[in-house]
Amino acid sequence: MAIDAEQVRRIAHLARIGLAADEADRYIDDLESILTMVERMHAVDTSGVTPLAHPIDVSQPLRPDRVTESDQRDAYQADAPAVANGFYLVPRVVE
């Protein structure tokens, strides 16, 4: 399956991965070989197979609805690059 440099840049943007100009070509090769492998799996007849959501065949244990966490804001915020009035601060995301 063919992938072009534009698609690579788009995927990188969606995942917020910075790509140098010459890196896109290298990833075209990597991604194409992965997709070639996926294409080979298409040959297998899976019509009678239940889709697998998780490799472990048990169901999710549930937690009783109780508050078990105490407030540790100060400890968490000690590691944050910028805080004020209890808020985490980040670069402005709207104009």
Partner 1 sequence: MSQWETVIGLEVHVQLATASKIFSGAANRFGAEPNRQASAVDLGLPGVLPVLNEAVVRMAIRFGLAVDAEIAGTTQFARKNYFYPDLPKGYQISQLDHPIVGRGHLDIIVPGNDGDTVKTIGITRAHLEEDAGKSIHDQVPGLTAVDLNRAGTPLLEIVSEPDLRSAAEAVAYLRELHAIIRDLGISDGNMNEGSMRCDANVSIRPRGESKLGTRTEIKNLNSFRFLEKAIEFEVERQQEILESGGRIRQETRLYDAERNETRSMRSKEEAEDYRYFPDPDLLPVTITPAQIEAVRAEMPELPRARRERFMKQYGLSGYDSRMVASDHATAAYFEACVAVAGDAKLTANWVMGELASVLNREEKDIDTAPVAPAALGRLISRIQDDTISSKIAKTVFEIMVTDGGEADAIIEARGLRQMSDSGELERLVDSVIADNPDQVAQYRAGKTKLLGYFVGQIMKATGGKANPGQLNELLRARLDGGS
Residue 6 in the binding site for partner 1 (CB under 8 A): no
Q: What are phi and psi of 32, to 5 degrees?
A: -65, -35
Residue 67's CB: how many other CB atoms inside 10 A?
5
22 binds partner 1 (CB under 8 A): no
Q: Does 86 bind partner 1 (CB under 8 A)?
A: yes
| Per-residue CA distances from 76 to 68, 73, 87 (Å) | 17, 5, 11
Q: Which stretch binds partner 1 (CB under 8 A): 21-29, 30-38, 40-48, 51-59?
A: 51-59
Report d(CA 68, CA 12) in Å as an integer.
39
Asked if 82 interacts with partner 1 (CB under 8 A), we say yes
Give residues in contact with partner 1 (CB under 8 A).
14, 16, 53-54, 56, 58-69, 71-73, 76-77, 82, 84-94
